[in-house]
Structure 1
């Protein structure tokens, strides 16, 4: 892939200090940390390493180290490939559905002030909704397993929290005696999912309020009063709670290709950026509300940075989770039962996950490339100074 003409780091480098001056005291520490990481990513500030091909012995020179921050547009490829490689043996020989649960925008301000509490509530409400509706004999009557991925953005970088769930079409019968096959064209009734999801999330929200686990300040400070919060809850019940199912993926191979697009995604990739003139940023986006049309948007650098930082997650927050029989504590045993019932070979765990797609190959001989020397920032500086003296003598 060609190097993008503009990067998020370029915008932060040019306008980041001005943004900090205007918004001093309004940013979380984690947002400041992400800005710093992106600015330092693949620069001498993080040190570097020297690569060499193990087959032909060619040195590929010095490369600066990556920041490895999960919000950085330049640092997700290897993490994504490793995660997909780990999932490869966990996929079952059955069609899969993509189900998306979206929170009403009425909740946005409250979520931004209580991200850990309400993102966790979102995961819990969605997991319970899918498992309960699927377990109902009127629908599927089975125990299901799935994973869910949190995204907080829309294509134009506005705050839009939603959960992407990848669910097999079918599940384990009660007692795990056989596999119940679902339809390849219909998963679960959307109206039922919407009602149950809304009920569970609002109930959890009311419980969090009753237990004083929510913070209120600024424009939503009035919600700290019981009467105002009760009215807010009534509005939530009247609001539209969007749940939709995308068409079935088919088999596991198509699921893996899909996962490559959705896991470890950041709010905006560098390749969507078109131009930056020092004051304004122009980028591509898709307007899903109007037929998935391709559009272009121009924002001031300040507004672009503000929107980008909306999507910085709290430190340590897990944004990809496994639920049902895919939950971490039982995943291996449950998947082996599923594979046996589906006439698939059992999972064979290796001590090290390998993936040809994630291996770095020499452009000359296609042999494996490895790191032969690592240099911290101080060592890099001294090497550069030594080279300058050597060249001048």
Structure 2
């Protein structure tokens, strides 16, 4: 008989740690402990109806489907300060699946080269396009999955529609898709292949040991068209961050897409973009579901959200001020303040109309010695 399923319950039932490295083992341990007694929490009491409830802490891991909603909201509040009153463009750069084997053994190298190649491509177009001739800004987000949890590595880029020149002028973008997609694709392909050849020469891809096979793969992908996708620009600046938030903290699979579990089989919902986004269901064995999920755990410390150009962290404040001056539109005054509700540990009572719940005690983290935490 089918029953409900979550990523957490699937990990608890089907995960085998025999072949896991220490990083994936720790990530899975956090996801399995999330919002349970093992994480600790707070005991709350309503000042009106005196009802007592217990709230367990989340793990805050970036791969956790239970914790990313709040992380996304907090990220949005910070990014609103960097918005410009200009149209925005959304571009997606995708790696060919022929490189998936390389990603399997050297993800940190290929992902880093991917970010570098995407920015090099767009930066070159920004400086050489006649009506721009300046520095672009870009926020880029790495995704490694397709809707069916297969490996599908791509980068989502959100780019303000204009360039900042060396003299401090602002040149507005004129075209609906910012740059020609075919030209971007060819430049991106050449840059990425050249970058991977450099990694081979320097020994960064040392686990790939057959030089002839590596060269054959790169020659093969150079003969194919690479996928670069561009969407219409966004004209409402206030919706830009909310739009990007759909991508920044998205994970490989959310609990909302898991339909049911029947024995050792898990059924999930996905969109088939080859059929115009038609909704379909896919049934996977529990072990296969876990295998696909583990493919998308990022290398330890790897930053999947990055800012480039005049949006880079080092020069963002100075260059955004220059852009606002060039546009003669001063930035919005005041910073977003953090919500103080959690610091006071009070919330509206979910069980009565007029009460407020207060924290009465901290519940310490419950430490266990087991397969994942030893």
TM over 0.5: yes
Mapped to 1, the partners of 2:193 and 2:96 lie a distance apart of 11
* 2:25 alignment partner, one of 7, 27, 32: 32
Q: Paired residues, what number?
A: 361
* 1:71 alignment partner, one of 57, 63, 67: 63
Mapped to 2, the partners of 1:373 and 1:188 lie a distance apart of 57
Pair 1:232 & 2:243 matched: no
- The residue correspondences of 1:209-228 to structure 2 (distance < 5 A) are 209-216=200-207, 221=208, 224-228=209-213
Mapped to 2, the partners of 1:156 and 1:139 lie a distance apart of 41
Range that drifts further, 194-203 or 315-324:
194-203
- Residue 195 of structure 1 and its aligned partner are, at CA, apart by 1.3
Mapped to 2, the partners of 1:137 and 1:117 lie a distance apart of 30
Mapped to 2, the partners of 1:353 and 1:292 lie a distance apart of 39
- Residue 92 of structure 1 and its aligned partner are, at CA, apart by 0.7
- Residue 103 of structure 1 and its aligned partner are, at CA, apart by 0.3
Higher helix share: 1
Structure 1 portions without partners, runs of 5+: 380-393
2:171 is matched with 180
- The residue correspondences of 1:1-393 to structure 2 (distance < 5 A) are 5-16=4-15, 19-20=16-17, 24-25=18-19, 27-51=20-44, 61-138=53-130, 140-176=132-168, 178-183=169-174, 185-216=176-207, 221=208, 224-346=209-331, 350=335, 353-354=337-338, 361-362=347-348, 371=359, 373-378=361-366
Mapped to 1, the partners of 2:302 and 2:49 lie a distance apart of 42
Mapped to 2, the partners of 1:249 and 1:356 lie a distance apart of 32
Structure 2 portions without partners, runs of 5+: 368-374
2:370 is matched with none
Alignment partner of 1:156: what SS? coil
Range that drifts further, 191-200 or 96-105:
191-200
- Residue 355 of structure 1 and its aligned partner are, at CA, apart by 5.4
> Runs of 4 or more off by more than 4 Å in structure 1?
55-60, 347-350, 355-361, 363-372
Query: Quick check: 1:11–1:278 contact (8 Å CA) kept in 2?
Result: no
Alignment partner of 1:67: what SS? coil
What root-mean-square deviation, in Å, do the aligned CA atoms of Structure 1 and Structure 2 show? 2.7
Mapped to 2, the partners of 1:196 and 1:124 lie a distance apart of 13
Query: Quick check: 2:49–2:355 contact (8 Å CA) kept in 1?
Result: no
Mapped to 1, the partners of 2:259 and 2:149 lie a distance apart of 15
- Residue 227 of structure 1 and its aligned partner are, at CA, apart by 2.7
Range that drifts further, 125-134 or 357-366:
357-366
Q: Which digits, 9 at most, give the CA deviation of each residue in 1:247-287, with x for residues without a partner?
A: 21222222122123111111010011110123111111011
Q: Give TM-score, length-normalised by structure 2.
A: 0.89
Mapped to 1, the partners of 2:342 and 2:250 lie a distance apart of 17
Q: Give TM-score, length-normalised by structure 1.
A: 0.84
Alignment partner of 1:175: what SS? coil
Query: Quick check: 2:114–2:192 contact (8 Å CA) kept in 1?
Result: yes
Q: Which digits, 9 at most, give the CA deviation of each residue in 1:285-310, with x for residues without a partner?
A: 01112211111111111111100110
- Residue 344 of structure 1 and its aligned partner are, at CA, apart by 2.5
- Residue 321 of structure 1 and its aligned partner are, at CA, apart by 0.3
Mapped to 2, the partners of 1:159 and 1:79 lie a distance apart of 24
Change in CA separation of 1:32 and 1:378 when aligned onto 2, cut-off 3 Å:
closer
Change in CA separation of 1:197 and 1:50 when aligned onto 2, cut-off 3 Å:
same
Change in CA separation of 1:13 and 1:345 when aligned onto 2, cut-off 3 Å:
same
Query: Quick check: 1:86–1:353 contact (8 Å CA) kept in 2?
Result: no
